[in-house]
Amino acid sequence: MSALLSSTPFSAIFAPFELTRFLLPAQSRLQLSSLTRYRSGFKSATSRSLNLRCCSTMPVQDQSESPSCSQDSLFYSRAFWVTKSIIAWNVGAGEGECYLYASRKAGLCVGDDGIQGHDVKIKLERTNYGLPQQVIEKFPHIRDYAAFEVPATLDFQSLVKCQLAVGIFNSYGKCASATGLQLPGILDDLFSYTGPLGGIFATEAVSLYLWAPTAQAVQALIYKSPSEADPVEIVQLKELDGVWSAKGPRHWEGCYYVYEVSVYHPSTLRIEKCVSNDPYARGLSADGKRTLLVNLDSDDVKPEGWDNLQDEKPNLLSFSDVSIYELHVRDFSANDPTVPHEFQGGYLAFTSQCVMGGATNDGRWLERNGDLDWYTDLMVYLRFVVRTHTHAQKRDSAGVQHLKRLSNAGITHVHLLPTYQFAGVEDEKHKWKYTDIEKLNSFPPDSEEQQALITAIQDEDGYNWGYNPVLWGVPKGSYASNANGPCRIVEFRKMVQALNRIGLRVVLDVVYNHLHASGPFSDFSVLDKIVPGYFLRRNADGGIENSTCVNNTASEHFMVERLILDDLKCWAVHYKIDGFRFDLMGHIMKRTMLKAKSFLNSLSTEENGVDGSSIYIYGEGWDFGEVAKNGRGINASQFNLFGAGIGSFNDRIRDALLGGSPFGHPLHQGFVTGLYSEPNGHDLGDKANVERMLTVSKDHIQVGMAANLKDFVLTNCDGQEVKGSEVLMHDRKPVGYASSPVETVNYVSAHDNETLFDIISLKTPKDISVEERCRMNHLATSVIALSQGIPFFHAGDEMLRSKSIDRDSYNSGDWFNRLDFSYNSNNWGVGLPPKEKNERNWPLIKPRLADPSYKPQKSHILAAVENFLNLMQIRYSSPLFRLKTANAIQERVRFHNTGPSWIPGLIVMSIEDGHQGIPGLSQLDPIYSYIVVIINPCPTDVSFANLALRAKSLQLHPVQMNSTDIIKNSTYDATSGCFNVPARTTSVFVESR
């Protein structure tokens, strides 16, 4: 409906005898109301109470009984308008006539005689055949609902802009039940759209496009700067088929705008005037108050050489060559004194040349309030960069030096935790609060004082992981030198450019599964203001699903999926991102992920300036919440992604190595933390049971080392030949689920849960030495580094990183999340971790933090870094560690020391290349023909002999022979085929050609 509607009463529009028609006069117009400025956080007492009643925690009635027709009924949306012609509702077969009601002004209410205040009442006909198959496929959670046919003669475009409800009557003519409607089905049916959205730049004009089919009116408020009070222009947008648009002059570029959308909102049961950013924003003012009209193709926002960056990217021949280092932007440099203070914790800390002295900074550009136009802001910024980098001594910061060492050793990708615009951290640094570092340092290592001081300001400091998205398509302003104007765009691009130039590709952590806020009032709500009830996944009562934490999104809806795909394209094309890690990927539909992979793969250097075939995607394939067991359609969970070529995190190898799970008892030991060989006192049953647990863990690890392939055949601990999918976890689910090595991301730690060193310190016996814990840290890392599949490492694991045993440091500030690239400290013992997530474990944590023998010295950290770099050099010394196909792994990878007569606690893996033992095996490695990896988690040296490994010309890998570690004491005797490996050591033996 392109015309604005008038405020003429519906009673004057509809003839009394035509109430089943909803036809609006083509020439009617809505009288424009005077501009009312939106005030952040304002709500009337009434709207607040309505919000509370409509939240996802609202009381749920027993769905086995038909709810009564009461005033509260309209606070629920239990009926679904699934297609243009069908409404689905969970009502009994014995109910009578059913009607659809609509009110343009949201005046519906429930009285004794049913629903009142409607402008139109439309009779619906119950069908006898239920919901069509295509509806069940899209909405499987309502497969058993009754289907009601909607008359085809209705003006659907006008109806969806109204408050809608359905009511059903019993045989006595009394209203038996009433409820609101959920509209995503009909919106997808009628308004799916593939045209332009957001701000579109042409030679002579700037156009705005907004998809908002339920809106009654939309206007854009144009501002010259991010802070001026009054708009310089108010533009009424016109609608065509659910898309609102306006065309403006080219000089709009560099201006800011917000949308004012008049729309019915189901959370308040009212027509609300929502003020919102553009969902397709590509620039923002500080804290996302307004959308910046910025052309990402403009040379003014590109660093020098940006358009040619594809030619400078490090080579990537195969996804099997990928290895990932997970890093938080602020962690990287917030505590690095070798980074200029104004760049600490931000994008520019990654630029390879950092000023070490002689720079001047009058600070004028940093103190700007953004009142000048963005181009002037940019010029001032560039002059600042030139001024601070001229006549100054420069060298790499400590963090950049460390990244270069990782890159030189073989790490290919840096995975950055969320960098889009998120809530929880103010963009403007002068608003941040700080804690006195000297005071924090003065407390004992097991004190409660540190966490008390940190948590007192945790929502007002500069730290948060960022898993609370507001706008997906704009870099976070707090990481930029100036959150207003285009600085965040320029500096983000500089970061990508710098990382690529030191040999590291960049992965973005994308969080499409949920949004930070919803409703018509929050400053952080965007999508739910534009099309309320569409972008967020709702439960059977109409409340928002919160299984991902809060405000789950619904990628099963067409325009949600489209927004995700468009956002990925923006990051890939305009920021030249090399990979995407999907947070809670299992809450996204498999269809969406396959489209994302296909679309990204189609990007070309010639047309898009990037090689999409080299973009790797992976994520968390956990299957839980409302999407579990394909509850909302086939989701992107681990088992469903078989054959998709999309990576998912392998929690099986993590839990087997460390013991238990992040949700189990913290003292539950695993393969590398002393299970069986060094019990910590936690009761796991008798000796036979513990030994059995060790053998099962070993099977899980071996499947993981073979890329967690579903069909990989190995001999299990019972001496049986089984496939990876036939090795089972405690809940009887298969261990192996992947079809190829690129579908498995092996890891032992990530930003979630305790760091690797911390969890080892928690699970191991108190009487072992810190040296032994350091070796366990290295042992766990070695398994990941030498496995088939994609190895993934949490930043700092290679430096024995500690967060003082904090299990969830998302908001624990710089203090608990510190990284020290000088290698002087691993951050152990900086106080009891924050109370909220850790208090129940304080009795376990406190004595460990208080014991000085737990704290590693600099020598331990340096040894850990050396050992990690050696591991990566070994991985990249032979393609045999990075086999590309499941068939190659099955042909070449063997596990020895298997079956009932095994040596407890020892994994022996061989990889063969063109050896005469397997006729016809092609040669992949020009240097080595055979590799043996022996993993000894025991506290003593272990000898292992195997007839199949006799008479080979095996030697310890040259990298390990040149190591300063005890690993150089590993030996092999060709006559007996016997290997000797030191305690808690992974040794690699190679046969040269």
Which residues neighbour 405 within 8 Å (Cβ) at sequence distance 6 or greater?
A: 865, 869
Q: What b/e readout covers 282-311, taking b as 16+ CB neighbours within 10 angstroms?
A: bbbbbbbbbbbbbbbeeebbbbeebeebee
Tell me if residue 620 is catalytic.
Answer: yes
Contact 427, 477 (CB under 8 A): yes
SS in 3 state form for 423-485? CCCCCCHHHCCCCCHHHHHCCCCCCCHHHHHHHHCCCCCCCCCCCCEEEEEEECHHHCCCCCC
> What pLDDT is stored for residue 96 in this prediction?
83
Cα 159 to Cα 153: distance, rounded to the nearest angstrom? 12
Q: Which two tokens stand for residue 329?
A: 């932007």
Cα 430 to Cα 445: distance, rounded to the nearest angstrom? 30
Cα 237 to Cα 244: distance, rounded to the nearest angstrom? 6
> What pLDDT is stored for residue 68 in this prediction?
63
> What pLDDT is stored for residue 392 in this prediction?
46
Cα 412 to Cα 870: distance, rounded to the nearest angstrom? 15
What is the mean pLDDT, run by run of 10 residues, along the chain of 993 residues?
32 31 32 28 30 32 50 90 97 86 96 89 94 97 97 96 95 89 98 98 96 98 96 98 97 97 97 98 97 98 97 96 98 96 96 47 32 44 43 77 98 98 97 97 98 98 98 98 98 98 98 98 98 98 97 98 98 98 98 98 97 98 98 98 98 98 96 97 95 96 98 96 96 96 98 98 97 98 98 98 98 98 98 97 98 98 98 98 98 93 90 75 92 97 92 95 96 95 98 91
pTM of the model: 0.90
Q: Which residue in the list 620, 754, 798, 991 is annotated as catalytic?
A: 620
> What pLDDT is stored for residue 34 in this prediction?
28
Q: Which two tokens stand for residue 411?
A: 């790490």
Longest dimension (CA), the chain: 102
Provide the 3-class DSSP secondary structure of residue 234: strand
> What pLDDT is stored for residue 393 in this prediction?
54
Asked if the 79-190 domain carries CATH number 2.60.40.1130, the reply is: yes
Cα 929 to Cα 993: distance, rounded to the nearest angstrom? 6
Sheet hosting strand 238-240, strand order edge to edge: 198-201, 205-211, 243-249, 238-240
Cα 147 to Cα 149: distance, rounded to the nearest angstrom? 7
Residue that has been written with the tokens 């960056």 in this structure: 309
Instruction: List 147's β-bridge partners, or say none.
Output: 88
Contact 972, 954 (CB under 8 A): yes
Task: Report residue 663: phi and psi, to 5°.
Answer: -105, 0
> What pLDDT is stored for residue 368 in this prediction?
31
Cα 853 to Cα 813: distance, rounded to the nearest angstrom? 26
> What pLDDT is stored for residue 352 in this prediction?
65
**What residue spans define the domains of the chain?**
79-190, 191-299, 406-613, 648-800+856-992
Task: Report residue 674: phi and psi, to 5°.
Answer: 105, 10
Superfamily of domain 191-299: Immunoglobulins (2.60.40.10)
| DSSP H helix total and E strand total for the chain | 26, 40
- Candidates 280, 307, 347, 310; CA nearest to 489 is 347
> What pLDDT is stored for residue 899 in this prediction?
85
User: What CATH topology corresponds to 406-613?
Assistant: TIM Barrel (3.20.20)
> What pLDDT is stored for residue 918 in this prediction?
67
Task: Report residue 725: phi and psi, to 5°.
Answer: -75, -15
Cα 842 to Cα 448: distance, rounded to the nearest angstrom? 10
Quote the DSSP letter at residue 187: H
The length of the chain in residues reads 993
Which residues neighbour 804 within 8 Å (Cβ) at sequence distance 6 or greater?
A: 445, 758, 816, 827, 828, 829, 830, 831, 832, 833, 845, 849
> What pLDDT is stored for residue 136 in this prediction?
97
- Candidates 582, 647, 579; CA nearest to 612 is 579
Cα 423 to Cα 466: distance, rounded to the nearest angstrom? 7
Q: Which residue in the list 260, 446, 583, 623 is annotated as catalytic?
A: 583
Domain 648-800+856-992 carries which CATH code?
3.20.20.80
> What pLDDT is stored for residue 104 in this prediction?
97
Domain 79-190 and domain 406-613, same fold? Reply is: no
CB atoms closer than 10 angstroms to residue 688: 8
CB atoms closer than 10 angstroms to residue 401: 15
CB atoms closer than 10 angstroms to residue 673: 27
